[in-house]
Structures are given as structure tokens and as C-alpha cells.
């Protein structure tokens, strides 16, 4: 027997993880290890750590860290990944091309279903994903792509064309149609037409 006792080495490792408060966000959560007992992670993440998001970030403004509190738990035999984001990202305003802060702060909750038959166990409004579709990595243990799932939600949260709410670049400079003309109710014309028939 040349192998060292598995339990001892992993116990030491988890003690070490607890000691360092500033551990970076884990890429994956092992479902073999945590699906039954639950798993929590809290910490700060720099928006630049998300590869796909990084391409949309403004380079003209310093990005601040986003607070993330995540909780993997089972309810009614269905696995859930819930997390709260607190913070903002700086993107580029599509009107004036200056940095614009987009708030990410929200509570997110995704049901992680073992199979299609579990769909009936969650509310109609509940977001869900099938584990078979999100666990794509070949590995001996089932790894939930934690970081990717959080990034997916951030990408859904941010607008396709971010703009300042009170952008100082006036619409006239771009020759856009003044908003008064757009606001005419199309149903008003329809209603008057209908009356004549």
C-alpha cells in the first residue's frame, strides 16, 4: 500500500481553504461531494474574471469587485443554485461611448434538474436547467460549472445596448426622430378605423 489515506489529506485541504478568506471563486462545484449536504460560497469577484463578460467591459473605467453569495441546496428533492450579486459593471454607453455603470444587484435562482420528469416539481416561473446539458466536462466526478452559470446570468442581466438613463448626448445630434412622434398610440388609429366599418 503506497497511497496516503485519502480522508486525511482532504481534511487538511479543507482546513486550509477555510483559513484563506480570499479564495477565488471556484470554477466548479463537485456535485458528488456537495449535492446532498449543500454548499455555500461567499466572496468578491472581479468582472474581468469572467471571460465572456470581459469583452463587453469598458476599459475607460476601473471595474469594482462584485459581491457574490451563493448557495447550492436541495428543496423538494430538486437541486437549486441560488445566488445574490451586489455590485455593478462598467460597460460602454452606445449613445455617447462613455462608460456607463450597469447594476447587477439581484437575487438569482436556478433549479438544476436531473431529468425532464422533474420539471413538474418546479413552479412555472422558476428558471431551470437540465444537469445533463450543463455538465459537459468529462471527469470522474460530476462538476457543476458554477462560474459559467453565474456568468450566464450576468450576461442575461446586462442590456444588449447599454445606455445612460440620462445620457448627455442629445438625440438631435444623431438626427433621431423626436420621441413625441413615436409615442402616438397605434391603436387610436385602429379604433377610429373600426368605427367607420
- In the bound complex, what is the minimum distance in angstroms from residue 174's beta carbon to Zn ion? 12
- In the bound complex, what is the minimum distance in angstroms from residue 163's beta carbon to Zn ion? 6
Residue closer to Zn ion (CB basis): 1 or 161: 161
Residue closer to Zn ion (CB basis): 35 or 57: 57
Q: Which of 33, 34, 41 is nearest to 17 (CA)?
A: 41
The kind and range of the H/E element at 52 are helix 51-54
Count the Cβ atoms, other than its own, within 10 Å of residue 52.
11
- In the bound complex, what is the minimum distance in angstroms from residue 63's beta carbon to Zn ion? 18
Q: Which residue is nearest to Zn ion (CB)?
A: 93
The kind and range of the H/E element at 109 are strand 106-113
- In the bound complex, what is the minimum distance in angstroms from residue 94's beta carbon to Zn ion? 8
Which residues have CB under 8 Å from 156's CB, separation 6+?
Answer: none
Binding-site ranges for Zn ion (CB under 5 A): 93, 95-96, 164, 167
Residue closer to Zn ion (CB basis): 160 or 193: 160
Residue closer to Zn ion (CB basis): 10 or 170: 170
Amino acid at each position: 500500500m503506497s497511497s496516503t489515506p485519502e480522508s486525511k489529506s482532504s481534511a487538511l485541504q479543507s482546513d486550509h481553504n477555510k483559513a484563506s478568506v480570499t479564495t477565488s471563486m471556484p470554477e466548479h462545484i463537485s456535485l458528488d461531494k456537495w449535492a446532498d449536504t449543500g454548499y455555500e460560497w461567499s466572496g468578491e469577484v472581479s468582472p474581468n474574471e469572467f471571460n465572456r463578460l470581459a469583452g463587453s467591459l469598458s476599459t475607460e473605467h476601473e471595474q469594482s469587485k462584485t459581491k457574490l453569495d451563493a448557495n447550492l441546496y436541495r428543496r423538494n428533492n430538486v437541486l437549486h443554485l441560488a445566488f445574490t450579486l451586489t455590485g455593478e459593471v462598467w460597460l460602454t454607453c452606445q449613445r455617447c461611448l462613455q462608460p456607463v455603470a450597469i447594476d447587477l444587484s439581484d437575487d438569482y435562482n436556478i433549479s438544476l434538474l436531473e431529468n425532464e420528469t422533474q420539471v413538474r416539481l418546479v413552479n412555472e416561473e422558476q428558471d431551470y436547467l437540465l444537469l445533463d446539458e450543463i455538465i459537459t466536462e468529462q471527469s470522474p466526478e460530476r462538476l457543476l460549472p458554477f462560474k459559467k452559470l453565474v456568468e450566464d446570468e450576468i450576461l442575461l442581466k446586462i442590456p444588449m445596448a447599454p445606455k445612460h438613463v440620462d445620457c448627455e448626448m442629445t438625440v438631435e445630434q444623431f438626427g433621431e426622430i423626436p420621441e413625441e412622434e413615436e409615442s402616438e398610440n397605434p391603436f387610436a388609429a385602429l379604433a377610429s378605423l373600426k368605427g367607420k366599418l
